[in-house]
């Protein structure tokens, strides 16, 4: 059978008039209904919602550990192999003559800010501190929690969750969407990345379902990041003297949640209205500069030698253990309190949760990466979207988290840092290091940096959701739709935080996110197959003189 040109025409029905002009009504309306039902349910019936969501969440975490561990290993393998193989690595995410729209610094700034910046400010300190006290090596009896001999273990496990596997989740979705959109002229939306498998069937109901799943996963994944960010933003506001926003436990109260959400979503909606090339680019550059300044502070005034050791040995230990860590699944022996059961519980609470979070984040970050990566080669894309960001995470964890551990082990900090809520740990650390006055100034800077990350994440998510709803068209960004998704995203975060009650708000968001991530994880596995099939066939087309991209004169609608 002779090779035919690939599918280069995927019509998606959009409205020609009215409120939804330019939008796929099936995707936009049903997405809004699902999100609205979730918010109303969580607020009006918090106990029932919590009980049912927790039951579903427990079932998923107990029965899908293998699934999440293995699919993340798959994503990492596919990204790495495609970048290494010369025939695929040099393929451009675009056609001949396409040049990158953004310079390297702005490109990386937007990727890092939208994808992971918010979480970094919370977890760069909190996660190494937690794993320093407890991790699978401690549970298995190979190390003692809180002792110097457990530092390397702490970084091995921290790097696992924020390293190559995490960024491979974003990379595989972004690469798939960019490849089929920019090389074949298909709409920049999730369904287009599956055309080698499902073909023209994606124009109808099947494609609508896939895009709806992507929208819901995006809202819930971003809500998780914003939930952590809101808690930390409130902690920072309290540190700089704005009172009444926290409860006795030091976490955000209802008033604090509502004020923080109002500030964040107002700013992010205004930025979203200005588009990617203006507001989001500017904010991304600002938060990258502030991030470099803050990181420089920890490099110079923090525990520099301790951090260098943590970075060097943490990366070595992580890479050496990676083949095992990527495929290792802990299973209970059925005995409550046994080592095997504790290991399974730890993996469900940490590794499986993180993989679900990155999967839920993938449609948003993946489309955003695709949007700003036109003209890059696959090798450049993997380097910029998977390798370099992971190394940046390692650096942050080593010097920010390393300073906290060193101050506690050797600097006389005691429980000043470790005893604080996760969002407040970084503020407690800088105040301990600098004293009240200089600590206030640094805390204010961190609050500003955090706000830019939160706004960048939220406004990017709003634009991406609208792009999916508009069948991949970045043009029809009617203001009412931007306002709706800005308000809806804030409502999801606020509703679940408040419905979860004191100390349970983030758990409620986590539960909803894990549930929303599972359907999209199936889509991502299909994206791997579609990408491999598409690149394989395009390579054969090119070698046989058959049209493979839209830069040819004839555009065919033949099936893959």
The pLDDT score that the predictor gives to residue 434 is 94
Question: Is residue 181 pLDDT above 80, yes or no?
Answer: yes
Highest mean pLDDT: which range of 16-25, 173-182, 248-257: 173-182
Top-confidence residue, 453 or 350: 350
The Cα angle at residue 554 between residues 551 and 558, in degrees rounded to 5? 105
The pLDDT score that the predictor gives to residue 504 is 54
Top-confidence residue, 511 or 319: 319
Owner of token pair 């205004």: 270
Q: What is the mean pLDDT of residues 355-363?
A: 89
Strand partners, 133: none
Structure token pair of residue 249:
């436990």
Q: 104-156, pLDDT tens digit by residue?
A: 877 877 766 555 666 777 788 999 999 999 999 999 999 999 999 999 999 99
The pLDDT score that the predictor gives to residue 503 is 53
The pLDDT score that the predictor gives to residue 43 is 72
The pLDDT score that the predictor gives to residue 552 is 44
- Residue 362: which of 58, 66, 79 has the closest Cα? 79
Highest mean pLDDT: which range of 203-212, 217-226, 369-378, 537-546: 203-212
Top-confidence residue, 476 or 491: 491
Highest mean pLDDT: which range of 215-229, 400-414, 498-512: 400-414
Residues 13, 18, 22, 26: what is their CA dihedral angle, to the nearest 10 degrees?
A: -40
- Residue 163: which of 80, 103, 230, 92 has the closest Cα? 80
Top-confidence residue, 75 or 452: 75
CATH topology of domain 38-127+172-541: Amino acid/polyamine transporter I (1.20.1740)
Quick one: pLDDT band at residue 100, thresholds 50, 70, 90? confident
For residue 26, the surrounding DSSP H or E stretch is helix 25-44
Q: What is the DSSP letter of 149?
A: G
Q: What is the DSSP letter of 6?
A: P
The pLDDT score that the predictor gives to residue 555 is 38
Question: Is residue 554 pLDDT above 60, yes or no?
Answer: no
Question: Is residue 27 pLDDT above 90, yes or no?
Answer: yes
Average pLDDT, the chain: 85
| Distance, CA of 345 to CA of 136 (rounded, Å) | 10
Quick one: pLDDT band at residue 71, thresholds 50, 70, 90? very high
The pLDDT score that the predictor gives to residue 132 is 95
Map out the domains of the chain as residue ranges.
Answer: 38-127+172-541
The pLDDT score that the predictor gives to residue 558 is 41
Q: What is the mean pLDDT of residues 168-181?
A: 94
Q: 398-455, pLDDT tens digit by residue?
A: 999 999 999 999 888 889 999 998 889 999 999 999 998 999 999 999 998 888 888 8
| Number of other residues whose CB lies within 10 A of the CB of residue 19 | 11
Q: 362-397, pLDDT tens digit by residue?
A: 988 888 888 888 999 999 999 888 888 888 889 999
The pLDDT score that the predictor gives to residue 329 is 92
Question: Is residue 559 pLDDT above 50, yes or no?
Answer: no
Q: 280-339, pLDDT tens digit by residue?
A: 667 767 777 888 888 899 999 999 999 999 999 999 999 999 999 999 999 888 888 899
pLDDT > 70: percent of the chain? 91
């Amino acid at each position: 059978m002779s090779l035919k040109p690939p599918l280069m025409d995927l019509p998606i029905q959009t409205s020609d008039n009215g409120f939804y002009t330019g939008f796929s009504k099936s995707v936009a309306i049903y997405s809004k209904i699902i999100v609205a039902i979730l918010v109303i349910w969580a607020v009006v019936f918090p106990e029932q919602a919590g009980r049912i969501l927790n039951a579903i969440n427990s079932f998923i975490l107990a029965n899908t550990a293998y699934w999440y561990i293995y699919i993340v290993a798959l994503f990492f393998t596919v990204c790495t192999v495609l970048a290494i193989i010369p025939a695929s690595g040099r393929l451009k995410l675009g056609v001949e003559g396409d040049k990158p729209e953004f310079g390297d610094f702005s490109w990386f700034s937007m990727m890092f800010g939208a994808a992971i910046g918010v979480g970094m400010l919370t977890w760069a300190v909190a996660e190494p501190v937690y794993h320093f006290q407890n991790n699978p090596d401690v549970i298995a009896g190979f190390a003692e929690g809180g002792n110097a001999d457990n530092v390397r273990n702490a970084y091995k496990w921290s790097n696992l969750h924020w390293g190559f596997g995490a960024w491979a989740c974003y990379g595989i979705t972004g690469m798939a969407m960019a490849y089929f959109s920019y090389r074949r002229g298909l709409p920049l939306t999730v369904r287009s990345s599956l055309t080698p498998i499902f073909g023209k069937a994606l124009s109808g109901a099947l494609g609508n379902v896939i895009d709806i799943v992507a929208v819901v996963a995006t809202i819930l994944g971003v809500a998780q990041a914003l939930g952590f960010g809101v808690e930390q933003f409130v902690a920072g506001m309290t540190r700089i003297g704005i009172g009444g926003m926290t409860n006795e436990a030091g976490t955000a109260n209802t008033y604090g949640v509502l004020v923080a959400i109002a500030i964040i979503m107002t700013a992010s909606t205004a930025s979203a209205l200005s588009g990617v090339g203006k507001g989001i680019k500017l904010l991304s550059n600002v938060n990258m500069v502030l991030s470099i300044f803050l990181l420089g502070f920890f490099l110079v005034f923090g525990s520099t030698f301790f951090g260098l050791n943590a970075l060097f040995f943490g990366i070595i230990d992580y890479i050496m253990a990676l083949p095992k860590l990527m495929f290792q699944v802990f299973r209970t022996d059925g005995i409550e309190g046994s080592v095997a059961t504790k290991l399974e519980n730890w993996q469900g609470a940490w590794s499986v949760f993180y993989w679900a979070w990155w999967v839920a984040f993938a449609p948003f970050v993946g489309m955003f990466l695709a949007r700003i990566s036109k003209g890059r080669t696959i090798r450049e894309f993997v380097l910029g979207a998977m390798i370099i960001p992971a190394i940046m995470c390692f650096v942050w964890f080593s010097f920010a988290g390393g300073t906290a551990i060193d101050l506690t082990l050797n600097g006389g900090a005691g429980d000043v840092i470790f005893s604080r809520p996760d969002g407040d740990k970084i503020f407690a650390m800088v105040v301990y290091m600098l004293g009240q006055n200089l600590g206030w100034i640094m805390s204010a800077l961190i609050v500003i940096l955090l706000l830019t990350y939160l706004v960048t994440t939220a406004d990017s998510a709003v634009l991406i959701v609208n792009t999916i709803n508009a069948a991949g068209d970045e043009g029809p960004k009617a203001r009412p739709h931007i306002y709706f998704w800005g308000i809806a995203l804030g409502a999801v975060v606020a509703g679940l935080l408040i419905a979860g009650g004191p100390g349970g708000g983030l758990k409620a968001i986590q539960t909803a996110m894990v549930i929303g991530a599972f359907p999209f994880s199936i889509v991502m596995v299909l994206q791997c197959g579609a990408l491999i099939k598409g690149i394989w066939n395009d390579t054969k087309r090119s070698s046989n003189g058959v049209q493979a991209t839209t830069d040819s004169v004839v555009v065919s609608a033949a099936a893959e």
